[in-house]
Amino acid sequence: MAIDRSAKARPKNLRKTLKHFLKYIGKHSRLLFVISILVIIPAVSQLYGTYMIKPLINTATSNGDKSELARLCLIVAGVYLTGVTSAFIYMQLIARFAQVVIYDMRRDLFNHIQELPIKYFDTHSYGEMMSSFTNDLESVTDALNNSFATLIQYFVQIVGMGVILFLFSWELSLVVLGFYFIMFAYIMYSGKKSKLYYSRQQKAMGELNGFADEILRGEKTIKSFTSEKDVIKTFVNKSEELEKASASALTYGNSMVPMVVFLSYLNYGIVTVLGGLMVISGRISDIGTLSSYLIFVRQAASPINRLTGNINSLLNGLASMERVFNLITLEPEIDQGKIEIVNVDSSMTEVKEKTGYYAYKDEKQLIKFNGNVKMENAIFSYVSGKVVINDITIEGEAGEKIALVGSTGAGKTTIVNLINRFYDVDEGKVTVDGINIKDIKKDDLRSVIGMVLQETHLFYGTIEDNIKFGKLDASHEEVVAAAKLASADSFIRRLPQGYNTVLTGDGENLSSGQRQLIAIARVAISNPPILILDEATSSVDTYTEQLIQKGMDMLMVGRTTFVIAHRLSTVRNSSAIIVLENGRVLESGTHESLIKSRGKYYSLYTGKTELT
């Protein structure tokens, strides 16, 4: 499972990323303003304290006025004390600021992911999405804590020092400026090289994380095929790729600070000699000016060193921001539906509580909900040019059981995905009670459709909590009733903690059949008028299949149901059986009529042909 982040290891669109980020920090503009002021104060304090070396030395070497010297020392002490106090306060505030900004980003990221269409989850890996919640947000946090305030402070110091240096001696400052130009040229060169290798590092890290995630989730399969040595070999190879990329990236990235230090010392030595000669020649008026100048030159290297040291953190933070913002700005699932589906009582009066009766609400008009589902001349393709549903028409009347039969890839699951509006048809239409489902609000449509899938997903929590996921405000009595309907109550009561048994690892402390029964109970408690059962018994033993089938049979009573099944014995009592092949309806009818016609279904049922 490879996650290609090679194109995203550094922000491709810095302006767009910063613009989006400004919206987040703008929500906390007052706190940001206070932090900015507090960050500037230490920078100005250091500039002023260094400048004060000039009058201190001149006073000490000229008239030796001890009272004036003491006054100047107190001023310098007060300035530095103010700077230290301000730095202590802003460090506390910046931590708070970083957390509230990350909270906003994490919340928006999670909320937006809930709004993305199923297509996104079908085409992106779990590891890639989790990387945004963990690695990316952590990188942004580090950048905010370590680089945000640093940028402001060092910018003020560098600009302030540059102005003061030119005011003291423009001749020496040209020499200093030349060295700074060399420093920044090297930083740009090294940054460009490290960017290339960081891109490879991010790609290798994504591939390694995705591979590890996939392997850890499939340990049972790996052990059953004794493939441990093979996956270890692959892991080692991917780890070596990451090691090489990381080493190359760090080689250039870590060379910035030593090179800047070397150039700054060389600069300081040359300026000291030239400055001494200028004092002797009278081109610099006093020793105090030279002393203050040289200290400024020496101090100027510090913010540059620290700034280069923070470049990697800053670039990683910006790249992570871009990935998070790319997710947040993805087009959400579009819902153009205007017709609502509301709960009503037996007299067709709208009510808030779930009654099991539904109605369509359009411009305050209530129309009875029956649950007749029809797909008319539907054409659909996941990828343009590769049709998987080709001119299909099927219909399920209220209370009927419609079975979808066919080989893998015939289009069975795609049909139920279209009914639930996980995807929309390219041509044709899907209607419920004659209303195009595109005109119905998606949440309302899905609230009246219950799905039991082959791959059951249970959440961490108690069995009761998992059943109540179908109706969060359900009482314990309703939970028990749903479990009984699904034939799950008996095994639940035999568990040590009964309904309070905590499920872990997607319900791994239960058998696959027990997990499936809980999934059926979860759908039962939501009491949907339309059911979709997607191969719900394909991976269990015969006894468990019978138990699950009993639960599903009880659940299907009075509901429009679409069943996908490999075991044809489970669909004999269907109102209609639709045989699919290559995205088309090959034949349809009741079990008896299809057996009489001796077509594809007859061959499948009698074992002459097998489902693949």
Q: Give me the DSSP letters along 377-430.
A: EEEE-SBTTB-SEEEEEEEE-TT-EEEEEESTTSSHHHHHHHHTTSS--SEEEE
Q: In this predicted model, what pLDDT tens digit does every residue of 195-249 receive, in sequence order?
A: 677 777 777 887 888 788 778 877 777 776 777 888 888 888 888 888 887 777 7
List the structure tokens of 71. Answer: 């006054």
Name the nearest CA neighbour of 101 among 141, 132, 63: 141
Contacts of 345 (CB under 8 A, 6+ apart): 351, 355, 357
pLDDT confidence tier of residue 534, bands split at 50, 70 and 90: confident
Q: Residue type for 210, please?
A: G
Phi, psi of 595 (to 5 degrees): -65, -40
SS3 content of the chain, % helix, strand, coil (to 5): 60, 15, 25
Predicted pLDDT of residue 578: 92
Beta bridge partner(s), residue 143: none
Contact 373, 395 (CB under 8 A): yes
Predicted pLDDT of residue 308: 63
Sign of the dihedral through C-alpha 521, 526, 529, 535:
negative
Name the nearest CA neighbour of 428 among 364, 381, 498, 360: 381
pLDDT confidence tier of residue 5, bands split at 50, 70 and 90: very low
Averaged pLDDT for residues 490-494 = 91
Q: How many CB atoms lie within 10 A of CB 146?
A: 17
Contact 373, 448 (CB under 8 A): no
Distance CA 606, CA 138 (A): 59
The overall pTM is greater than 0.75: no
Contacts of 119 (CB under 8 A, 6+ apart): 382, 422, 423
Predicted pLDDT of residue 207: 81
Q: Which CATH superfamily is domain 373-605 in?
A: P-loop containing nucleotide triphosphate hydrolases (3.40.50.300)
Distance CA 438, CA 335 (A): 8
Predicted pLDDT of residue 6: 37
Q: Is 399 left (phi over 0), alpha (psi -120 to 50) or beta?
A: left
Distance CA 231, CA 243 (A): 18
Sign of the dihedral through C-alpha 219, 225, 226, 231:
negative
Q: What is the DSSP letter of 572?
A: T
Query: Strand 560-564 vs strand 401-406: parallel, antiparallel, or unpaired?
Result: parallel
Domain 14-199+242-328 has CATH 3.90.1150.10: no
Q: Coil, helix or strand for 535?
A: coil
Distance CA 150, CA 94 (A): 11
What's the mean pLDDT when you consider all of the chain? 82
* Largest separation between any pair of C-alpha atoms in the chain: 122
Predicted pLDDT of residue 45: 86
Predicted pLDDT of residue 7: 37
Q: Residue type for 569, please?
A: S
Percent of the chain, pLDDT > 90? Answer: 17
Q: In this predicted model, what pLDDT tens digit does every residue of 370-388 receive, in sequence order?
A: 999 999 999 999 888 888 9
**305-309, 350-354, 392-396, 452-456 — most confident range:** 392-396
What residue has token string 């693949």?
612
Domain ranges of the chain: 14-199+242-328, 373-605
Predicted pLDDT of residue 378: 93
Q: Which residue has the higher pLDDT, 579 or 209?
A: 579
Predicted pLDDT of residue 571: 83
Predicted pLDDT of residue 464: 93
Q: How many CB atoms lie within 10 A of CB 66?
A: 10
Name the nearest CA neighbour of 52 among 79, 84, 86: 79
Contact 28, 97 (CB under 8 A): yes
Predicted pLDDT of residue 611: 56
DSSP string, 218-251: THHHHHHTT-HHHHHHHHHHHHHHHHHHHHHHHH
Averaged pLDDT for residues 26-33 = 86
Q: Which residue has the higher pLDDT, 395 or 568?
A: 395
Name the nearest CA neighbour of 1 among 207, 241, 231: 207
Predicted pLDDT of residue 572: 84
